[in-house]
Structure 1
Amino acid sequence: MQNLSEFPGNATSNKSLSVIIKVCVVIPFFCVFLCCVAVMMHIFASYRQFLDTSRYILFAYMLVNDTLQLLSSVLLFLFIMAQVKIALVYCIPLLLISSVTFQSTLLILATMSLERYIAILYPLQCPAAWRSDRIWIIILSLWLISWVSPVIDYSIGGHDPAVDALSTPVLCKVTVVNSSPMQRLVKVALSILFFVVVAVIIVFTYMRILLETRKMRQDRASVSKAMHTVLLHGLQLLLCMLAFTNPITENLTVHANWLPADIAFFNYFCFMLIPRFLSPLIYGFRDQSLRGYIGKTFLCCSNKVKPCVRRKLQDNLSVS
């Protein structure tokens, strides 16, 4: 009897420890991402020449999109970990922003691959829409297309009639709003459509750039770098689309004795956080121009910190 009475307490403590570990893993990871984004956005704001190039404008848009995606998803993650319940009127906008920015990431990957394809194959005959002063038209189109799937997903079904959207607190999860089989079917179909279109574009641009490297005798270095960038976009796309393998990974709860909460966290960390964290790495730290300005930014910050530390030491010595 004593062992039976102690078991719920042990289970509760293990669950609390698991929640603490998950939060301690996600929050530092998210803070590092925000620091990288803040440094790069500061560089874009300080050096206007970056905004005169289409690929840097698309990259800045990707950073903003991924930041919104992570802000909404991390907030939802913390709500679920803390078992915080909110009304649907506040929950649905968070879920909608998370879904829209997730879809937008796929479209941005395809657009950035097309931009590299056009820049390599048509350097002197760039279409007007891909120029830096008109690239906002493509960005606006991507943003509008990203709303198609989430709006259809959330409009064809309804929540529980017993739940008041304004007052009844609920745990903010996708299953609370998207509960009907029809919604799930439409969501899977649209996700597959997005994946196929983006995958075809990335494979097409990679193969064309690969063929172009065999023809070009000059500037092979830039073409090779563009080819590697497109390949990394393909890897990032694959990681993003693995987020839709939840039905498969959920079977691990049976075969590997994993808890459903641990499976959900594994999917979230590997297929939501990691691909977004790769964005500043792929274009930021691999780009020679940006990498130089990033080094200068950190060097300036360290030079500003050192005089402050030196001044504090002198004040302490004078007081003593």
Structure 2
Amino acid sequence: MAANISLISSGTSPYTVIYQVILVQVLVSVFLCINLLLISTFSKQEYFYTTTRYILFAVTLLSDSLYLLITDIMYILIYFRFTVQMWLCLIMCIFLSLYTFATPVTLTAMTLERYVAICRPLHHAELCSTRKAVHCILIIHCISSVPFIIILSIFIASVAHSFYTENNKCNMDIFVVHSWQSHLRTAISQFYFLIMCIAIVCSYIKIMKVAKCASGENKKSSWKGLRTVALHAFQLLFCLIQLWCPFIEAVISQINVMMYVNIRYFNYITFFLAPRCLSPLIYGLRDDKFFRAVKHYVLCGMYKTWSEE
């Protein structure tokens, strides 16, 4: 996972590396600004922070923003060959692991919310209240923290106390003491994504059945919900491909070092950064109410919001 941000190699052209680092900084900066704008918009409208799907959307924005920030810090540390004490690296890796899983788990929760809204509309107000949304956020973070708690427990039992005060380059691979730990981490990740994929596929099928039987406004709402679930599945697929990257890279590293470095950089941009940048584009800007609110604040109030129409 996060080890893919280790892209520096002695065989890479200095100019190429500089351009790569600049590109990463530009992408991270742009999408952090967009996320902050959307989070600010969310916090200024009461309707948004009292509606479950917008609350979950805000959770996704926060998770993605923290993920982008932490990976960028680790990327810069590796690029400049800085070493840090392992206790500090451990803290960064804990948050990185948490938010690696928080986004796909939240996407699954958003899918289930759309399923309830469309297929169980009479129960939606009860199951998707603001109080239930807070409980849902706690559950999301508890579920997301399980994989690293398992890996961390094994790690703490395997290393001496002096390890935490050592200075070293910071990446997730440092915490894999035994070879079987990487297989365990992969197995846990595959299990998580299998469950999430099943939940999204089942919701898609159920919503599709309702969409075919609906009429008028209900039909329009159902098909819109169906497209939203499809986009959730598309973003989750990108997150799932992250798990396959290490296997592909391991094979390529035995063939050509330069190709290996380039593939790792491509994977980092495409399958690590890109999925985290899709949320504001997919859910924030395609939602009519949210998009109007964003335009209102970007244009300094010259564009009236949906609530004023």
Give yes or no for TM over 0.5: yes
Would you say the 8 A contact 2:106–2:140 is kept in 1? yes
Taking a change above 3 Å as real, the CA distance of residues 214 and 176 of structure 1, as seen in their structure-2 partners, is same
Query: Residues 157 and 183 of structure 1 are in contact (CA less than 8 Å); yes or no, is this contact kept in structure 2?
Result: no
Alpha-carbon displacement from aligned partner over 1:27-79 (angstroms, at most 9, x marks no partner) = 11111111111111111121111112110000001111111111111111111
Q: Which residue of structure 1 aligns with residue 151 of structure 2?
A: 153
Aligned pairs (5 A) from 1:57-76: 57-76=55-74
| Larger-Rg structure | 1
SS in 1 for 2:168: strand
1:168 aligns with 166
2:268 and 2:12 map into 1 onto residues whose CA distance is 21
Change (3 A) 1:136 1:162: closer
In the alignment, which residue of structure 2 is the partner of 1:221?
220
For the Cα contact (< 8 Å) 2:147–2:188, is it kept in 1?
yes
Mapped to 1, the partners of 2:264 and 2:227 lie a distance apart of: 32
2:234 aligned residue: 235
CA 175–301 in structure 1, closer or farther in 2 if over 3 Å, else same = farther
Q: CA deviation at 1:161?
A: 5.6
1:191 aligned onto 2:209: no
Identify the structure with bigger relative contact order (alpha carbons < 8 Å, sequence gap 6+).
Answer: 2
Specify whether residues 48 and 127 from structure 1 end up closer, same or farther in structure 2 by C-alpha distance, changes over 3 A only.
closer
CA offset at residue 255 of structure 1?
5.2
Number of residue pairs aligned between Structure 1 and Structure 2 = 293
Name structure 1 gaps, 5 residues minimum: 1-10, 304-320
CA distance in 1, matches of 2:84, 2:263: 24
CA deviations 1:236-276 (Å, max 9, x no partner) are 01100111112124423455663433332222111110000
| 2: CA distance, partners of 1:161 / 1:103 | 25
Asked if the contact 1:154/1:178 (under 8 Å) is kept, the reply is no
Q: Is the 8 A contact 1:69 1:101 kept in 2?
A: yes
Tell me if structure 2 keeps the 8 A contact 1:52–1:133.
Answer: no
- Structure 2 residue 280 is matched with structure 1 residue 280: yes
User: 1:122 and 2:120 equivalent?
Assistant: yes
% identity of equivalent residues? 29
Query: 1:139 is matched with which residue?
Result: 137
Amino acid at match of 2:129: R
Query: Cα distance, 1:132 vs. partner?
Result: 2.1
CA contact (8 A) 2:158 2:177 kept: no
Normalising by the residue count of structure 1, what TM-score does the alignment of the two structures yield?
0.85
Say whether the 8 Å CA contact 1:159–1:176 is kept in structure 2: no
Structure 2 contact 12–258 (Cα < 8 Å) conserved: no
**Segments of 4+ moved more than 6 angstroms:** none
The DSSP-based 3-state class of the residue aligned with 2:73 is: helix
Inter-partner Cα distance in structure 1 for 2:130 and 2:13: 51
Q: CA RMSD in A?
A: 2.3
Offset of residue 14 of structure 1:
5.0
My pick for the range that moved more, 171-180 or 292-301, is 292-301
C-alpha separation between the residues in 1 aligned to 2:162 and 2:17? Answer: 29
Q: Which runs of 5+ in 2 are unaligned?
A: 1-8, 304-309
- Within the candidate set 168, 177, 180, 1:179 is matched to 177
**Paired amino acid for 1:125:** H
Deviation at 1:163?
A: 8.7
